[in-house]
Amino acid sequence: MADGGTAIVDDLGRAGLAVADGAAPVPLTGGVSCDVWKVEGVDGPLVVKRPLEQLRVAAEWHAPVERGASEVRWLRRARGVDPRIAPEVLAELPGYGFAMRFLADAPVWKEELIAGRIDTDFAAAVGARIAAVHAATANNPADHDAFSTQAMFRALRIDPFLLYVADRDAECAPALRALAEDLAQRQTALVHGDVSPKNILVTADGPLFLDAECAVYGDPAFDLAFCTTHLLLKAVWFDDVRLNEAAAGMVAAYCAVIDWEAPEALLGRAGALTAALLLARVEGKSPAPYLTDPDHRRIVRDQARACLLAPAPLDALVAQWKRTNI
């Protein structure tokens, strides 16, 4: 067993999680921000996750590894709202890593979408559940104090997604910088920060959220905008109207739960943020890897820039989103 695998087994043992005899940690796809392993435990398979300081992207992108502790806090807080929303953390490990139970029969939502299994009701449940976390934590001093992680959120979201693009697009820069400033200052509810189909499992009990490394007490509109962005990007990629419909269903279900502010105000901010994030996924530090077709990139870029320069509420943006040049 490699030294890294030995260290993981030792860390699990010290945390009281026994590993099956001879079992070696198997690396899984961890995305750009972390290392992930599957380990056969005595009581069933486990997942071990540990954040990276330098993210796996072409551009230089560093982020504090302490975000692993924020992720654990988000998972536990979300389970307190509804145990179906997040997996149980079994142990915290050195290096800001942690272990949780491996869910064998829960496909990743992204893979379901890619396979053409697009369920608007499931998308609506995503919106309702993330809104439930926002509603439970809105204007809550204890949650505010537990997630004062604005510096990490800036490093992981504001700088690479908004300000990086602002430095390269003079026409959109004023709008992007204003959004970045508002996002940095607004502290309303507990935000997951990475509500993406790749971070949501499809379980028998509905959507289950993973990868809350970017958790912060901030603007709840960001979570809604971030997930909407992914659905609209895939709508262009596949030219599938069902993805537009899924986005609309998610937004509507989210709005039905809002009780901490006027829905119109949140939809306005979410519309502008979605436009900015769409542009970032073709021009930012972390471009969507599947948008390799120049026509797809142009469709996203042109619409995103237009929506930044003439913002619309999120529900209107989704209704007007075009998948082709036609």
Phi, psi angle pair for 46, to nearest 5°? -120, 160
Bridge partner residues of 99 (DSSP): 48, 91
What are the structural domain ranges in the chain? 3-101, 109-320
State residue 3's pLDDT score: 43
CB count within 10 Å of CB 111 equals 12
Residues 6+ apart with CB under 8 A from 115: none
Tens of pLDDT, residue by residue, the chain (326 residues) = 444 566 888 878 887 777 878 778 888 875 666 788 888 888 888 888 877 766 565 666 656 666 678 899 999 999 999 999 999 998 877 666 788 888 888 999 999 999 999 999 999 999 999 999 999 999 999 999 999 999 989 988 999 999 999 999 999 999 999 999 999 999 999 999 999 999 999 999 999 999 898 999 999 999 999 999 999 999 999 999 999 999 999 999 999 999 999 999 999 999 999 999 999 999 998 899 999 999 999 999 999 999 999 999 999 999 999 999 75
State whether residue 139 is helix, strand or coil.
Answer: coil
Domain 109-320 fold is Aminoglycoside 3'-phosphotransferase; Chain: A, domain 2 (3.90.1200)
Instruction: Name the pTM for this structure.
Output: 0.89
DSSP state of 286: S
Q: Kindly state the tokens that stand for 305.
A: 């820039």
State residue 83's pLDDT score: 96
State residue 317's pLDDT score: 98
State residue 53's pLDDT score: 60
State residue 1's pLDDT score: 40
Distance, in Å, from the CA atom of 28 to the CA atom of 38, rounded to the nearest integer, reads: 7
State whether residue 154 is helix, strand or coil.
Answer: helix
State residue 98's pLDDT score: 81
State residue 63's pLDDT score: 60
What would you measure as the largest C-alpha separation in the chain, in angstroms? 61
Q: Given this chain, do its domains 3-101 and 109-320 carry the same CATH topology?
A: no
State residue 101's pLDDT score: 85
Distance, in Å, from the CA atom of 110 to the CA atom of 238, rounded to the nearest integer, reads: 13
What letter represents residue 24's amino acid? A
Q: Residues 197, 122: contact at Cβ < 8 Å?
A: no
State residue 94's pLDDT score: 66
For the packed helices 173-185 and 294-309, what is the interaxial angle rounded to 10 degrees?
70
State residue 206's pLDDT score: 98
State residue 97's pLDDT score: 78
Name the CATH superfamily, with its identifier, for domain 3-101: Phosphorylase Kinase; domain 1 (3.30.200.20)
CA distances from 99 to 16, 54, 163 (A): 11, 21, 34
